[in-house]
């Protein structure tokens, strides 16, 4: 007998028929002798509808009120799912984030979980009830409702699994698992049976939109085994766990592409200490996340060029800030290129295998793809390229590293 | 400066334009130097939609889960209304029933309020914030969400007004106030400027669907002055207060009609003690409320006829129970008439004015309307008549008692 947390996303509970299908899956897991805890998202489209209504009221809705508003969607699904499980003859009970003791900080719309008491969950399980928890939400110290931001229900599920030392946390979505790359780009893309937390984190942050990074970080921190799988079929999915020896034999696990990138370059910056800090402080103060930074050694030894990437959404604001800094520093100018993409190769095996980077450069060069920026870590290599080359780069790298097997 | 609780029903918050109009009214009240607490219902249609979805899942949804489900509607409206007030430059904060400390019993879907702490309401008001409370809901001792049943948001508003000793509780709806009778039946019907709690209770229970009886009982118990008025115009509405000398001079305040009635008669019952108790115990055990009871003296001195009325919804079940009892007692038989209506005359002045009942009987007799059953109390006289005579009876009584003035 295992304790399993199952999280169902918006597409998995999109309508009453889908909710009944979820109930069947939950009951099937319970029938196999497992204890099951269910976490649900809002029905697909509901959260967007509420956001739209709020913007009909005011252009800048208060974040505390947004949390009160948006948290209602998951409550609806939790009650309906509990009813569906009950109608199959099993005991079930819905809980809000508050009722299972999910206490967060007060950062409305993007709160962080501080602790979970889970008392009522334990009690329900001991009474042979199947608890259905409204995902995405908690309360802060003053008992105000908070939400956990994008991917929040995944975080709820992982946090509950961690608190109760669950044997497994299953994330049900509308894809079969984690692939070596986007199957819409490379039809030979292969579903991975398993992947390490770190690899998944790189995949998540690099634009593979399956699982939000925060939930993976949480799973890694508390060593919660995660499975990503589809609620529309019974395929086994992808297991996300601590890296093991098997994994290290596989050099590369996947190729990820992210077109939501812009590159900004500030040219001819006087080469003095503290210049970069100056620039990136100003950008950080605007809550903009900088991804890759490259400082070129300029031909002019008294000056340097600095290039960095930000998301497309932040690019306009980052460009303005950079121009201001450029003026103050007496740099030669600033330019921006929004027609760029970041292609990355991820794999825990890289750390012990030399030559991965070289193979990437060689492969891309052979296809005539120009590399604008490079960034490397122990388990990934990212290249910024022209956006028009994205699909070609992903295909050729997927092939070069033999990921289709 | 007064403390005013304003409750807005579903039609008053039916869409974002209506919610903005509510915010304007709230702000206007605050601008006059008042402290305002707002209580809101779910947007019109939302609760029905959720009930429909639940019934798609299961024929018999669990009541605890229904409460979790249905309580979401008022949360949405409370957040949106707070946003709308904020967008007009006023401080506002939404609260759930739990957050303002509304503790109820555990009778899900029809819970009774046991106490209100209202701490956060007091704090918000002292900070010059306009609180917007989600109506219709509370939590029980185990922290489960409960709802207060039909008219629950009215009860929330009155209970908060009572707890904070508010100067006034305004119930905003889509009618202008309480009328001497249904204006759709009698176009001369006149809006009452004021009416006593007891009269309003009779009006409410007799089919004038403006305000739910429980909230009026609550207002009476804690002496909360109530106003019923429209959120679609600025007409003054009807004040509901303790009866005063002025009121007692007015004999009759209104005429109410209720077509949701059925009369059941059990004939030739052996006239022994305890017979009636036997019958009405059996009916009470089925949770059916009996309204009027009349026991006729039969021509046969050893037997009697008993007639009583129940709501149409309960009539079939009550009829079956009565037949069972009839068989056991050896009565002559049972018949039922669902083509009946109850017409009532209400007025606190009746208690000190003789001849009201006589005038009713005379008026109806003149119109050839047969009275099947009669029931009287200190402040009302009800007659059960043929349903086809309802409109005629209401019109002629309204006229006879000069209610149009």
Interval A50-77: pLDDT, tens: 999 999 999 999 999 999 999 999 999 9
Residue A62 forms contact with B (CB below 8 Å) = yes
Q: pLDDT-derived band of residue A300, with 50, 70 and 90 as boundaries? A: low
Q: pLDDT-derived band of residue A297, with 50, 70 and 90 as boundaries? A: low
Task: Please judge whether B84 and A143 are an interchain contact, meaning their C-beta atoms are less than 8 angstroms apart.
Answer: no
Q: Is the pLDDT of residue B308 over 60?
A: yes
Q: What are the pLDDT digits (tens) for B184-233?
A: 889 999 999 999 999 998 887 766 678 888 899 999 999 999 999 999 99
Q: pLDDT-derived band of residue B298, with 50, 70 and 90 as boundaries? A: low
Task: Spell A53-68 as b/e; 16+ CB within 10 A means b.
Answer: bbeebbeebbbbbbbb
A56 contacts on B by Cβ (under 8 Å): 16
A368: CB partners within 8 A, 6+ apart: none
Which is more confident, B391 or A276? B391
The most confident of the ranges B175-179, B224-228, B369-373 is B224-228
Average pLDDT over residues A225-253: 89
A vs B: CB pairs below 8 A? 100
B69 contacts on A by Cβ (under 8 Å): 75-76, 79-80
Lowest mean pLDDT among A166-170, A271-275, B113-117: A271-275
Query: Tokens in use for B205?
Result: 């229970």
Of A20, A58, A86, which is closest to B83 when you measure between CB atoms?
A58
Average pLDDT over residues A133-151: 95
Domain B255-400 has CATH 3.30.2130.10: yes
Which is more confident, B202 or A229? A229
| C-beta separation of A108 from A64 below 8 A | yes
Task: Please judge whether A83 and B16 are an interchain contact, meaning their C-beta atoms are less than 8 angstroms apart.
Answer: no
B87: CB partners within 8 A, 6+ apart: A57, A58, B23
Of A66, A99, A143, which is closest to B99 when you measure between CB atoms?
A143
A96 contacts on B by Cβ (under 8 Å): 68, 145
Of B57, B78, B94, which is closest to A19 when you measure between CB atoms?
B57
DSSP state letter for A80: H
| C-beta separation of A367 from A396 below 8 A | yes
Sign of CA dihedral A266, A293, A109, B19: positive
Of B53, B73, B93, which is closest to A16 when you measure between CB atoms?
B53
Residue B9's alpha-carbon distances to A172, B19, B194, in angstroms, are: 39, 11, 21
Average pLDDT over residues B344-366: 86
Residue B121 forms contact with A (CB below 8 Å) = no
Q: Return the pLDDT at A20.
A: 98
Q: Return the pLDDT at B208.
A: 63
Task: Please judge whether B19 and A143 are an interchain contact, meaning their C-beta atoms are less than 8 angstroms apart.
Answer: no
Q: Return the pLDDT at A329.
A: 86
Torsion of CA B218, B220, B221, B223, to 10 degrees: 110
Which is more confident, B129 or B351? B129
A343: β partners: A257, A383
Distance from CA of B70 to the nearest CA of A (A): 8
SS3 letters across A272-327: CCCHHHHHHHHHHHCCCCCCCEEEEECCCCCEEEEEEEECHHHHHHHHHHHHHHHH
Concatenated DSSP letters of A156-167: HHHHHHHHTT-S
* The Cα angle at residue A261 between residues A259 and A263, in degrees rounded to 5: 135
A71 contacts on B by Cβ (under 8 Å): 75
B191: β partners: B179
Of B50, B78, B87, which is closest to A57 when you measure between CB atoms?
B87
A338: CB partners within 8 A, 6+ apart: A261, A262, A312, A315
Chain A contacts in chain B segment 90-119 (CB below 8 A): 93-94, 96, 98-99
A91 contacts on B by Cβ (under 8 Å): none
Q: Return the pLDDT at A182.
A: 87
Task: Please judge whether B68 and A79 are an interchain contact, meaning their C-beta atoms are less than 8 angstroms apart.
Answer: yes
Q: Is the pLDDT of residue B98 over 90?
A: yes
A87 contacts on B by Cβ (under 8 Å): 57-58
Do the domains at A3-174 and A255-400 have one common CATH topology?
A: no
Q: What are the pLDDT digits (tens) for B118-154?
A: 999 999 999 999 999 999 999 999 999 999 988 899 9
The most confident of the ranges A130-139, A252-261, B276-285 is A130-139
Q: Is the pLDDT of residue A340 over 80?
A: yes
d(CA B37, CA B7): 8
Pairing state between β A254-270 and A293-297? unpaired
Chain A contacts in chain B segment 123-182 (CB below 8 A): 143-145
A345: CB partners within 8 A, 6+ apart: A252, A254, A255, A356, A360, A380, A381, A397, A401
Q: What are the pLDDT digits (tens) for A380-401?
A: 899 999 999 999 999 999 999 9
Task: Please judge whether B144 and A99 are an interchain contact, meaning their C-beta atoms are less than 8 angstroms apart.
Answer: yes
Instruction: Give the domain ranges of chain B.
Output: 3-174, 255-400
The secondary structure of chain A in percent helix, strand, coil, rounded to multiples of 5, reads: 40, 30, 35
Residue B58 forms contact with A (CB below 8 Å) = yes
Q: Return the pLDDT at B250.
A: 76
d(CA B223, CA B242): 7
Lowest mean pLDDT among A33-47, A285-299, B209-223, B224-238: A285-299
Average pLDDT over residues B45-55: 95
Residue of chain B whose alpha carbon sits nearest to that of A88: B58
Q: Is the pLDDT of residue B82 over 60?
A: yes
Q: Return the pLDDT at A193.
A: 93
**Matching CATH number, A3-174, of 3.30.450.20, 2.60.40.420, 2.40.10.350, 3.40.1160.10:** 3.40.1160.10
Residues above pLDDT 90, as percent of chain A: 72
Q: Return the pLDDT at B338.
A: 94
Which is more confident, A245 or B164? B164
Mutate to test the interface with B, among A15, A52, A72 (most CBs of B within 10 A): A72
Residue A58 forms contact with B (CB below 8 Å) = yes
**Strand residue runs (E) in B80-225:** 92-95, 102-104, 113-116, 130-134, 137-139, 145-147, 168-173, 194-196
Task: Please judge whether A79 and B69 are an interchain contact, meaning their C-beta atoms are less than 8 angstroms apart.
Answer: yes
B79 contacts on A by Cβ (under 8 Å): 54, 65-66, 68-69
């Amino acid at each position: 007998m295992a304790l399993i947390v199952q999280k169902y996303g918006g597409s998995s509970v999109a309508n009453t028929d889908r909710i009944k299908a979820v109930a069947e899956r939950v009951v099937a897991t319970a029938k196999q002798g497992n204890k099951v805890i269910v976490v649900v998202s809002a029905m697909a489209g509901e959260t967007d509808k509420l956001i739209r209504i709020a913007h009909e009221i005011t252009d800048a809705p208060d974040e505390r009120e947004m949390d009160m508003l948006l948290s209602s969607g998951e409550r609806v699904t939790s009650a309906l799912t509990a009813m569906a499980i009950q109608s199959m003859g099993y005991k079930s009970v819905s809980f809000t984030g508050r009722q299972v003791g999910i206490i967060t900080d007060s950062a409305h719309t993007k709160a962080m979980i501080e602790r979970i008491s889970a008392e009522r969950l334990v009690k329900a399980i001991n009474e042979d009830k199947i608890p259905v928890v409204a995902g995405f939400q908690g309360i802060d110290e003053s008992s105000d409702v908070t939400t956990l931001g994008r991917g929040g229900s995944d975080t709820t599920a992982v946090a509950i699994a961690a608190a109760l030392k669950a044997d497994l946390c299953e994330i049900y979505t509308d894809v079969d698992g984690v692939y070596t790359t986007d199957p819409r780009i490379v039809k030979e893309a292969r579903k991975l049976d398993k992947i390490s937390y770190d690899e998944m984190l790189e995949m998540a942050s690099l634009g593979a939109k399956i699982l939000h990074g925060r939930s993976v970080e949480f799973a890694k921190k508390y060593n919660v085994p995660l499975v990503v799988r589809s609620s529309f079929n019974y395929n086994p999915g992808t297991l996300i766990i601590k890296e093991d020896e098997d994994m290290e034999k596989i050099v590369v696990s996947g190729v990820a592409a992210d077109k939501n990138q812009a590159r900004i370059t500030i040219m001819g910056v006087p080469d003095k200490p503290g210049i970069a800090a100056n620039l990136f402080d100003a950008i950080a103060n605007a809550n903009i996340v900088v991804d890759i930074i490259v400082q070129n050694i300029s031909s002019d030894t008294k000056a340097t060029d600095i290039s960095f990437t930000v998301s497309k959404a932040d690019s306009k604001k980052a460009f303005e800030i950079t121009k201001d800094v450029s003026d103050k520093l007496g740099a030669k100018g600033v330019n921006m290129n929004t027609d760029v993409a970041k292609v990355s190769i991820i794999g825990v095996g890289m750390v012990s295998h030399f030559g991965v980077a070289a193979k990437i450069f060689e492969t891309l060069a052979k296809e005539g793809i120009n590399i604008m920026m490079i960034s490397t870590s122990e388990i990934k290599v990212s290249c910024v390229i022209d956006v028009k080359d994205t699909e070609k780069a992903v295909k050729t790298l997927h092939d070069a590293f033999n990921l289709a097997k």
